[in-house]
């Protein structure tokens, strides 16, 4: 996957706007427990549609005001996915278009949107320390979350956005200030509903290899009896596997944390399963389903 960030600052100088935009994207992607393996490109001119078109990234991230004047140009780049701030750090409608657009429009806030409304998703500002959450850094964080869903589900960004909308904090219902709310990656990647066709682009139909999905398998750790892991789901294909794992206290079954682990080689899969199983008692009854 290729990501293009357009920002006048030097992206390699710590503390600059561009540096923090890239850092926020990686934080959003790695919040799924993944390690970024793609390419991040940088261009110093904003609203340079010709450059973006020629570069042909999967996503174009820009965290600057002005979208209201350039939304048409952004939408015309599709299926390149522009990820843009609505354009302000106070609650006000700057974009009057219906949501969603081809362009993914974002806002920022810890509890609800603190920035310009009429957005698709919101996220906390992962970089700033002010009370005010800034959309400059929530925007790439959301882009990172969408990229993670794409990689985990091996899907295009339309499907990733749809999964995120249906499973966001607004439960699939668009809100005029918060959009579809905060993205929940775990819920998005395990969403079982129908994915409608992209209304703006006809995507190639991917070849889906046969695989086995394992769900709700609990493994008790014999070396640390105060805790256990629950394998929420695993999808194993010919040469890769994706595991979603929760760790819990046995004492009260409270969840400690959550991991999404993606492995891309047969040897690594075998090693990972060995490490997981060698410290566990025989698994309790779980759900196994062939897909």
**pLDDT value of position 287:** 35
Strand order from edge to edge, sheet including 287-290:
255-263, 241-249, 227-236, 212-220, 287-290
Whether 59 has a pLDDT exceeding 70, the answer reads: yes
Q: What spatial distance separates the first Cα and last Cα of the chain, rounded to whole Å?
A: 27
pLDDT range class, residue 114, cuts 50, 70, 90:
confident
Rounded to an integer, what distance in angstroms lies between the CA atom of residue 14 and that of residue 29?
A: 20
Rounded to an integer, what distance in angstroms lies between the CA atom of residue 132 and that of residue 62?
A: 20
Whether 251 has a pLDDT exceeding 60, the answer reads: no
The DSSP string of 35-64 is ---SEEEEES-TT-HHHHHHH--SEEEE--
Specify the higher pLDDT residue, 137 or 218. 137
pLDDT range class, residue 205, cuts 50, 70, 90:
confident
Rounded to an integer, what distance in angstroms lies between the CA atom of residue 24 and that of residue 26?
A: 5
Rounded to an integer, what distance in angstroms lies between the CA atom of residue 243 and that of residue 54?
A: 36
Specify the higher pLDDT residue, 95 or 69. 69
Contact by Cβ (8 Å): 263, 272: yes
* Residue 210 C-beta-side C-alpha neighbours within 13 Å: 1
Whether 188 has a pLDDT exceeding 70, the answer reads: yes
Burial degree of 112 (CB within 10 A; 0-12, 13-18, 19+): middle
* Residue 220 C-beta-side C-alpha neighbours within 13 Å: 11
CATH fold group of domain 2-189: Rossmann fold (3.40.50)
**pLDDT value of position 31:** 92
Q: What is the mean pLDDT of the segment spanning 194-222?
A: 67
CA distances from 272 to 201, 223, 257 (A): 38, 17, 19
pTM: 0.74
pLDDT range class, residue 33, cuts 50, 70, 90:
confident
**pLDDT value of position 187:** 93
CA distances from 268 to 68, 203, 242 (A): 47, 31, 12
pLDDT range class, residue 240, cuts 50, 70, 90:
low
Q: What is the DSSP letter of 62?
A: E
Specify the higher pLDDT residue, 223 or 125. 125
Q: How is the chain split into domains, by residue range?
A: 2-189, 212-290
**pLDDT value of position 82:** 98
How confident is the prediction for the chain on average, in pLDDT? 81
Specify the higher pLDDT residue, 274 or 84. 84
């Amino acid at each position: 996957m290729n990501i293009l960030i357009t920002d006048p600052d030097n992206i390699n100088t710590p503390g600059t706007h561009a540096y923090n935009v890239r850092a926020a994207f990686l934080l959003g992607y790695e919040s799924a427990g993944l390690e970024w393996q793609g390419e991040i490109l940088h261009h110093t001119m904003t609203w340079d549609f010709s450059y973006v078109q020629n570069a042909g990234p999967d996503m174009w991230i820009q965290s600057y005001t002005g979208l209201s004047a350039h939304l048409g140009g952004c939408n015309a780049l599709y299926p390149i996915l522009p990820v843009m701030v609505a354009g302000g750090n106070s609650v006000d409608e700057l974009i009057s278009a219906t949501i969603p657009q081809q362009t993914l429009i974002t806002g920022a806030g810890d509890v609800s949107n603190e920035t310009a409304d009429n957005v698709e998703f919101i996220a906390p500002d992962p970089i700033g320390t002010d009370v005010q959450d800034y959309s400059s850094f929530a925007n790439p964080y959301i882009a990172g979350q969408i990229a993670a869903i794409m990689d985990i589900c091996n899907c295009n960004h339309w499907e990733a956005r749809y999964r995120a909308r249906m499973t966001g904090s607004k439960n699939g219902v668009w809100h005029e200030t918060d959009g579809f709310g905060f993205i929940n990656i775990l819920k998005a990647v395990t969403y079982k509903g129908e994915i409608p066709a992209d209304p703006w682009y006809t995507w190639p139909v991917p070849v889906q290899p046969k695989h086995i999905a394992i769900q709700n398998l609990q493994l008790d750790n014999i070396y640390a009896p105060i805790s256990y892991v629950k394998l929420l789901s695993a999808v194993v294909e010919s040469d890769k596997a994706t595991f979603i794992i929760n760790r819990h206290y046995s004492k009260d079954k409270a969840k400690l944390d959550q991991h999404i682990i993606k492995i891309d080689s047969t040897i690594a899969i075998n090693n990972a399963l060995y490490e997981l199983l060698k410290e566990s008692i025989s698994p309790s009854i779980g759900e196994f389903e062939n897909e």
